[in-house]
Structure formats: C-alpha cells, structure tokens
Amino acid sequence: MSDQTITAPTEENPEATGPEAYVPRQITSNDLDVSFEDAIAGTLVSVEDGQIVEGTVVKVDKDEVLLDIGYKSEGVIPSRELSIRNDVDPAEVVSLGELIEALVLTKEDKDGRLVLSKKRAQYERAWGDIERKKDEDGVVSGPVIEVVKGGLILDIGLRGFLPASLVELRRVRDLAPYVGRTLEAKIIELDKNRNNVVLSRRAWLEETQKEQREEFLENLKPGEIRSGVVSSVVNFGAFVDLGGMDGLVHVSELSWKHVDHPGSVVAVGDEITVQVLEVDLDRERISLSLKATQQDPWQEFASSHRVGELVYGRVTKLVPFGSFVQVGDGIEGLVHISEMSAHHVDLPEQVVTPGEELWVKIIDLDLQRRRISLSIKQAAEGGVVSAEYQEHFGEHAYDDEGNYIGGDSSEAQEAWAEYYAEHPEALEAGTEAAAEGEAAVAEATDAEAPEA
C-alpha cells in the first residue's frame, strides 16, 4: 500500500480527511432520553378500531380473557366475544399460551382498556371463505351447536342457519339428535348486511346421492311388494323409508276404510308392507299403497254374500232419501226410502234411528262401484240368512233352504252374545241391541215398521 497523507478537518480546512474526521461528537443526556423513548415506541404495535390483530393468551377468567398483542396494555376479550356459541366457558374456547386472532372493538373503553373480539375476527375471516364457496357452489361443514325455532345452527366460522325442512331429504321432526354432529351443506342464501347465512343439507344430499337414487329408482318396479319404515306422517299421507328413498302413501291408499287423519292408521317408526304403485324417474317420486297389501273388505264381502240374502246391520246415518246401514267392517249399504217399509214413508226417521240394529236384505251388490242396495221391507218378508249368521244361531233356527224359522229365545240371545264377543266393532254405536237379541230378530220379521 502506498503512503497517503491524512489531514484532519478543521474550521480553516473543513474538507480535510483522516481518522480524526470520524471521532463521534459528545453524547448529551437529551440524546439518551430521546433514544430510549424511540426504542420503547418501536416495540409497540399500533392498532385501530376494526383491525385484526394476533396475540398470546396470558390469562383466562370466567368472564374474560387477556391477550398480549404487543400493545401498551393487554387486550381484554369479554366472554361474550369469544365464540359464536352462547354461554360458553372461556376455558373451553382458549388456553394459556395459545396464539389467536382478535378484532379491535375499541382502543380505549371508559376504563381505558383495549377491548377485543375473537368471534368478530373469526367472522371476518370466515365470511370471505364462505362468499368464495358460495360463488363456486361449494360445500361448507361444521358442528351443530344449537336447535332453534324452525331449524339448526351450524358453526361454520359464523352462525349458519339450516331450516328443518332442509336437514334431510324428508322433513325431520325431532332435531335434538343432530346437536354435536358435523354436517355438510350447500349455501343457498347469503346476506352480510343482515348477517344471514342459510344452508341446505338436502341440496348436498341430493347432489351426492343422485347416482344411488337413480339406480334405486330404476330397480324399483310398479306392483312390487316392499317392506319399509314410516319416516313421517303428514295431513295428506305418510312417507315410508324403503331403504334407499322415501315413498308416499297417500291418505286414500292407507286403508280401505275412510281415514280422517293418517295418524289414526300409522305412526312414525311403524314397519309396514306396501305395494309400489308408480315410480316417477323425472321427479324422483315413489307412490305406494298400504291397502293394496290388505284384503279388500268389499271383495271379501262380495265373495261371501249374494243378492237375496239376509244380513244383520246397524243404521249409521239418515239422509232425505233413505238410510245407510253398516253390514260389514267398513261396508255400508243404502236402504232407499222406498225400501224402508211396506207402507208409505215420508222421512227415514219415521222407521229407523241411528245406532239401531236390524235385519236387511241385499237386493243389489255392485262390487265395481262399491255400492250395496238393501231393503228393510223385503227382509221383513223373510229369506235366506247369510251363512255367517247361521253359524251363530244354530241349524235348528233354519229350514232346509236356510230360511229363518226361529228358535228358543235364550239360545238366540246366547248366540248373539257370542257373535258380538267375536265382532266387538258391531257394538260401536250402542250395546243395547246385543242384549235384545231375539227381539231384534222378531222386529225384522214383522211386516209393520218399528216406531221411530
């Protein structure tokens, strides 16, 4: 290295260079004070309302959590701001030393505290993800945290509402068993201004189970007999789980009898056997019938009775043109006013009253139209009694052709008592006729109509 002349700077020669030029100036006490304050300020974070910050949990109380975010004071998270779940224990949400995010609610409340919210930060983070999934027609998932009126609340980073009608492919009445379960669902409605997120698990099920449903429907044929479990009962019928999909048994297909409400025939959980009536592949609907698997009472009645026979019945209803008489389980026939008595009748109540039991003759039986015409007048003239009644009265009460010729009154009463014991439904409108026994038979064979 070559020698070099070094000249220290002076007031006369300020441009001089050399080691002397780099000697630091003397540091004063003012310089130390400023540097310390700058150093402290440099270690603190700056926060603004609405900002999301990150910090370490340093204390967990039953009412609040303290969070160190590097600010001049620790931030306070009230218990109500910890989770979207109501009435939670802070210790179940966070733990000491855990690193979490929180949103600044206020830099300084009336007590000078920095107030934070974990659930608001979670909400802001989740909302962007949910909006993206909604745009992509994606799926969200989360545990069920609450049952509310009309549905369920899911924790998907915020409170997502799942209506009861959209929980399953069919409506579910008891939602309590879903609490704690993690469910997948599609987002069908999103409104950030109203903090409103509506979900549909049914839409997700329909999408994921489409291939299975199509295969199930293709293998299901009309006329098949299937076993199933009643999954729900509604005013218009009952839904039956066939093991792959639900089918509907319309109220008209529940029973051969008139049904006021499906609940009087079936209940949720019942195992029943049904016949497949129709399979709609396009609408993915299955129509079922319960009564088709049961004996048609009209067919049964028609096969065991014929025109001209005498049967015993109960008056169920009076109408201006006659009266209806029940002659079998679910079987009613009409006695036209012209067939009520040998003499002229103006009103049915002049001859019979509801609940009265009497003999009638079958004068017409139309199975196709499910109509039976009966006659009180012709029954009074006598005739062949139906076989079901002959068994209870004994052979001695009939001639060789089956015509009723009477018998001991006590025996007849005993026969009727036995009959009613085996057919309790015949006593629904009153039991006094059963005790009268032979007296009723005598009235039926009398040409004069009974008094109203």
Residue 64 sits in a domain whose CATH number is: 2.40.50.140
Of 222, 229, 169, the residue nearest 200 (C-alpha): 169
Which one, of 49, 51, 47, 112, lies nearest residue 76 by Cα?
A: 112
For residue 76, give the 3-state DSSP assignment. Answer: strand
Mapped onto helix, strand or coil, the DSSP state of residue 292 is helix
Tokens 């109220």 label which residue?
251
Greater model confidence, 329 or 351? 351
CB 247 within 8 A of CB 274: yes
What is the predicted pLDDT for the residue at 411?
Answer: 47
Sequence-distant (6+) residues with CB within 8 A of 406 are 397, 441
Place of tokens 């999103």: 190
Of 412, 417, 422, the closest CA to residue 442 belongs to 412
**1-48, pLDDT tens digit by residue?**
444 444 445 555 555 555 454 445 555 555 555 554 554 455 567 788
Show which of 181, 207, 233 is a domain's final residue: 207
Q: Regarding predicted confidence, which is higher, 224 or 49?
A: 224
* Mean pLDDT for all residues in the chain: 79
Question: How big is the chain, counted in residues?
Answer: 452
- Residues 98 and 237 both lie in one domain: no
Share of residues in the chain with pLDDT > 90 (%): 36
> Is-contact 375 325, C-beta < 8 A?
no
In which domain, by residue range, is 107 found? 52-120
User: Would you say residue 367 has pLDDT above 50?
Assistant: yes
Mark whether 320 and 386 lie in a shared domain.
yes
pLDDT surpassing 80 at residue 441: no
Which residue in 293, 329, 286 sits closest to 424, CA to CA? 329
Judge if 374 and 439 occupy the same domain: yes
Beta-carbon neighbour count of residue 371 at 10 Å? 13
DSSP H or E segment with residue 228: strand 225-234
Could you tell me if 276 and 322 lie in one domain?
no
Out of 94-108, 189-203, 418-432, which region has the weakest mean confidence (pLDDT)? 418-432
State pLDDT tens for residues 152-172.
Answer: 999 998 889 999 999 987 778
247 in a domain, yes or no? yes
> Which range has highest mean pLDDT (71-80, 295-304, 404-413, 426-435)?
71-80
Give how many domains the chain has, as a whole number: 4
Position 72 scores a pLDDT of 82
Structure tokens at 297: 């009472």
Instruction: Measure the CA–CA gap between 288 and 351, rounded to whole angstroms.
Output: 44
Looking at 95, 120, 145, the residue that finishes a domain is 120
47 belongs to a structural domain: no
In a domain, 254, yes or no: yes
Which pLDDT score is estimated for 421? 63
Q: 269 and 391, same structural domain?
A: no
pLDDT, position 194: 82
pTM score, whole prediction: 0.45
Whether 199 and 226 map to the same domain: the answer is: no
Q: Are residues 186 and 264 in the same domain?
A: no
From CA 219, how far away is CA 243, in angstroms rounded?
13
Find out whether 352 and 340 touch, Cβ atoms under 8 Å: yes
Q: Please check whether residues 281 and 306 belong to one and the same domain.
A: no
